[in-house]
Amino acid sequence: MTKRIVALAGDGIGPEIMTSALEILAVASKGKFAYEVVSFPFGGAAIEQVGIPLPQETLMACQQADAILLGAIGGPRWEGVKETPESGLLALRQALKLYANLRPTKMQTFLEEKSPLKADKVRGTDFVIVRELIGGLYFGQPKYYDSDEAIDTMNYTRKQIEQIVRLAFELALTRRQKLTSVDKANVLANSKLWRQIVQEVSEEYPSVEVEHIYVDAAAMKLMMAAPTFDVIVTENLFGDILSDQASVITGSLGLLASASLSIDGPALYEPIHGSAPDIAGLNIANPVSMILSVCMMLRQSFQQIALADQIETATYETIAATGGTRDLGGQLMTSEFKQELIKRLE
Ligand code: ATP
Ligand code: MG
């Protein structure tokens, strides 16, 4: 059966990196994997076209897709509008029940010197942060502020915690069988329940080594001992902060991809960076983050492991051989990098 991929190119560098990544997928998958791509407006691009960031037609297409690729959204042009591009993304996450955000951080030896950390502190780093994405402080009610007081509510149900924790254990089984659960159980009631549930679920996964760590200690350990982590699981806000912190380890935003998995529908794959309006349209963006997002999609949604491995290997080989785009200190334009990679795939 032909798989249906919905592409939401979005704003800024989104369209450039999406075009490159889809061309690469087309070349690499020839005769191996049958799919079709349909594109829909989303974010600022949709505001321009139809006045709102998440048109009904786009949402319906996403709900009926086998997987969704997102470029990037937002930019100065839409700051202060009533419905921002970012509010469209939050609405999409909720509508698709994208409860788990996965962000892998993997250090490539030839990129060690790009890291702001010392090479011996990052060598061999290979972990995934699993962040709960549709609960906690972001969505808890009541939530309001006036000029004298503000309230946010943090709440998680057992079901929500079990769901994300189980996913993290399953992921650990496919990797180095180590799970780090990050919480603040010395202070927060939510974290006390979280820790209790991690302990309960861990009994179903006796082969997985479990470590509990407070979020403040986790922040330090990420900088001091990144290679010791395998799978890190945490709630929404802690995950937001730690995953941005983790993104500096490899030295370039342009290399990092993410997956957001749904409870019962299609998953969404996107680079972790924003729309980079400062370099949009200049043909200098690094398309690797989008290409690796495509690889995550091939593995997670379509079980096309060999195809994903082939694209990923060729991508790293191309960076090593050419120096890559400017953000990596290389000379290649976006389109040149794509051409070099296609040569390797053919
Ligand atoms: P957001 O708020 O949407 O996360 P941001 O303000 O964090 O956005 P980004 O858009 O992620 O910012 O960009 C941060 C910096 O990294 C910018 O200077 C941008 O040009 C650069 N950058 C981001 N992605 C890439 C990429 N794929 N290739 C090259 N440079 C990039
Ligand atoms: Mg950002």
pLDDT tens for each residue of 275-321: 999 999 999 999 999 999 999 999 999 999 999 999 999 999 999 99
Domain membership flag for residue 300: yes
Q: Which of 32, 143, 144, 216 is catalytic?
A: 216
Q: Does residue 107 sit within a domain?
A: no
79 lines ligand 1 (CB under 6 A): no
**pLDDT tens figures, 114-146:** 899 999 999 999 999 999 999 999 999 999 999
Domain boundary among 217, 232, 250: 250
Residue 240 included in any domain: yes
Same domain, 65 and 179: no
pLDDT tens, 213-237? 999 999 999 999 999 999 999 999 9
207 in any annotated domain:
yes
pLDDT for 148 equals 98
Do residues 9 and 18 touch, judged by C-beta distance below 8 A?
yes
Residue 113 has pLDDT above 90, yes or no: no
pLDDT at 212: 98
Distance between the two ends of the chain, CA-based, in angstroms?
A: 25
Specify the number of domains making up the chain: 2
User: Do 305 and 242 fall within a single domain?
Assistant: no
Establish whether 184 is a catalytic residue: yes
For residues 146 and 41, state if they share a domain: no
Q: How far is the CA of 274 from the centre of ligand 1 (A)?
A: 5
Q: How many CB atoms lie within 10 A of CB 59?
A: 17
pLDDT for 114 equals 86
Q: Is the pLDDT of residue 165 over 90?
A: yes
Q: Which atom of ligand 1 is nearest to the CA of 286?
A: 28
Mean pLDDT of 185-212: 98
Evaluate if residue 149 carries a pLDDT over 90: yes
- 216 a catalytic residue: yes
Q: Give the end of a domain, one of 207, 222, 250.
A: 250
Decide if 197 is inside a domain.
Answer: yes
Q: Identify which of 273, 288, 315, 334 to mutate to test ligand 1's pocket (most ligand atoms within 8 A of the CB).
A: 273
> Coil, strand, or helix at residue 220?
helix
Q: Is 88 found in the same domain as 16?
A: yes
DSSP conformation letters of 28-56: HHTTT--EEEEE---THHHHHHHSSSS-H
211 plus 289 within the same structural domain: no
Q: Check whether residue 71 and residue 194 sit in a common domain.
A: no
Domain shared by 162 and 55, yes or no: no
From the list 244, 278, 309, 343, the catalytic residue is 244
Same-domain check for residues 260 and 340: yes
In a domain, 331, yes or no: yes
Task: Identify the domain containing residue 194 by its residue range.
Answer: 115-250
Q: What pLDDT was estimated at residue 1?
A: 85
The CATH number covering residue 69 comes to 3.40.718.10
How far, in Å, CA of 30 to CA of 59, rounded? 29
Specify whether 245 is located in the same domain as 257: no
Last residue of a domain, one of 250, 274, 299: 250
Domain shared by 185 and 285, yes or no = no
pLDDT score for 80:
87
State whether 181 and 162 are in the same domain: yes
SS (H, E, C) 111-145: HHHHCCCCHHHHCCCEEEEEEECCCHHHCEEEEEE
Protein residue whose Cα sits closest to atom 14 of ligand 1? 276
pLDDT for 252: 83
DSSP designation for 325? B
One domain for residues 233 and 338: no
